[in-house]
Amino acid sequence: MKAEVDQNVCTGCGLCPETCPEVFEMDGDTAKVKVKLVPKQAESTCREAMEGCPVEAISIAQ
């Protein structure tokens, strides 16, 4: 699975790196994905970050 953060939508709230630090990190005022593929053990927290994103900036593809 792959995660993506839409930089044009992200407000930099910090929820995703707080929820799933294995996949997301802050890059200045916005979040970014720091891995090409989501590690198996982080898939559920990655989905949780996507579902919790207040502006729906995160997308996940299988």
Q: How many CA atoms lie within 13 A of 29 on its CB side?
A: 3
Q: What is the largest CA-CA distance in the chain?
A: 28
| Tokens at 62, concatenated | 């299988």
pTM of this structure: 0.95
What is the reported pLDDT for 61? 96
Per-residue pLDDT tens digits for 14-36: 999 999 999 999 999 999 999 99
Q: What is the pLDDT of residue 39?
A: 98
- Structural domain boundaries enclosing 46: 2-61
Q: What is the CATH number of the domain that holds 55?
A: 3.30.70.20
pLDDT given at position 52: 98
* Secondary structure letter of residue 35 according to DSSP: -
Q: Dihedral (C-alpha) 15, 38, 35, 32: value to the nearest 10 degrees?
A: -30
Q: How many domains does the chain have?
A: 1
For residue range 35-53, list pLDDT tens digits in order.
999 999 999 999 999 999 9
